[in-house]
Amino acid sequence: MNRRYALFCVMTCAILGGSFTVSRSIVDFPILTGQALRYSLAALALFALVARRRPWVHPAGRELVRLALVAATGLVTFNVLLLFALRHAEPAVIGTIVGVSPLVLALLGPLQERRRPAPRLLAAAAVVVAGAGLVEGFGVADGPGLAAAVGVLCCEAAFSLLAAPLLPRLGPVRVSAWSTALAVPMLLLLLPLTGERPRWPTAGEAAALAFLGLFLTVVAFIFWYTGVAGLGVDRAGLFVALVPVFALVTTAVVDREAPAPAKVAGVLLVGAGLALAAVRVKQDAWNALRSSSAPAGSPASPGNSASSSDCTTGASTSAGPT
């Protein structure tokens, strides 16, 4: 894999996995209110970055609709379903189901770009999903809880799939800025429906929300969308399995508690799956190099390859990223 973009994905997962310990301090704060504050702060910071970029690029009508869908699914509905799921299922159940997202992205990402999923990439995704499942563990849930957890999984996948076609023209910063800004009014409109009573955060809660808004949202969103733009949804999606791994490591350090052997085995499986995907990409890069040096008209020439786009590791010339 392109190391630069892979590093962006790894750093995103490290930030998200490490943020769980910070989230403990706002567990009693109103959920929708907290998310609205977090995304408001993030939108202000992101649009400040957008204002410094030239040339000015504004979303077109269809792009604005897609950005609204990113906000509605990947940000708003994700949090609403997660809140509901936590009332009917143990966190381990939700984490295990959401951990299937690498496999979902490895399958749907290529289909969205009208190409066939790479078999070895699907195999790698299956391995990292199994590893993430071991790290998360298993728990108890009822029917509504399982349904809500599946909904959380769909929203998690939509966050990347819906945004991917926007990245070549708008870029990671603009996509992040518009999606977070559009999420704020949606969250506020849901407040009367949920009966949630907003309140001012305490000093500790305000510090946690500031961290989640500026670091988790601004930095992690830009890093993630940069990785997706460079690697493609399917390859970037593999790194999602690292979130529970980083959460496990962070929790073990903070709580000074050694992880169970099964969880360690899950970490090793995640590493094996990522290694399997990396081997595939190295082979593709070598094949692409051979093709580019082959004489025109030869069987190895890109012009004669029916699937030459599958051998690239950079940005795609198609509507969506590779």
Q: Tell me, letter by letter, the H, E, C secondary structure of 22-75.
A: HHHHHCCCCHHHHHHHHHHHHHHHHHHHHHCCCCCCCCCHHHHHHHHHHHHHHH
pLDDT at residue 140 greater than cutoff 70: no
What is the model's pLDDT at position 141?
A: 66
pLDDT at residue 311 greater than cutoff 70: no
**Whole-Å CA distances, 194 to 140, 282, 304:** 25, 50, 58
The DSSP letter of residue 298 is: S
Which residues, 6+ apart, have CB-to-CB distance to 111 below 8 Å? 117
**Contact criterion met (CB below 8 Å) for 88 and 97:** no
**Would you state the torsion angle of the CA atoms of residues 228, 231, 237, 241, taken in this order, to the nearest 10 degrees?**
-110
Pick left, alpha or beta for residue 102 (phi over 0 → left; psi -120 to 50 → alpha; otherwise beta): alpha
**Contact criterion met (CB below 8 Å) for 102 and 125:** yes
User: What span, in angstroms and rounded, lies between the C-alpha atoms of 144 and 83?
Assistant: 12
What is the model's pLDDT at position 234?
A: 83
In the structure, what pLDDT confidence band is assigned to residue 137 with cuts at 50, 70 and 90?
low
In the structure, what pLDDT confidence band is assigned to residue 186 with cuts at 50, 70 and 90?
very high
User: What span, in angstroms and rounded, lies between the C-alpha atoms of 138 and 93?
Assistant: 5
In the structure, what pLDDT confidence band is assigned to residue 319 with cuts at 50, 70 and 90?
very low
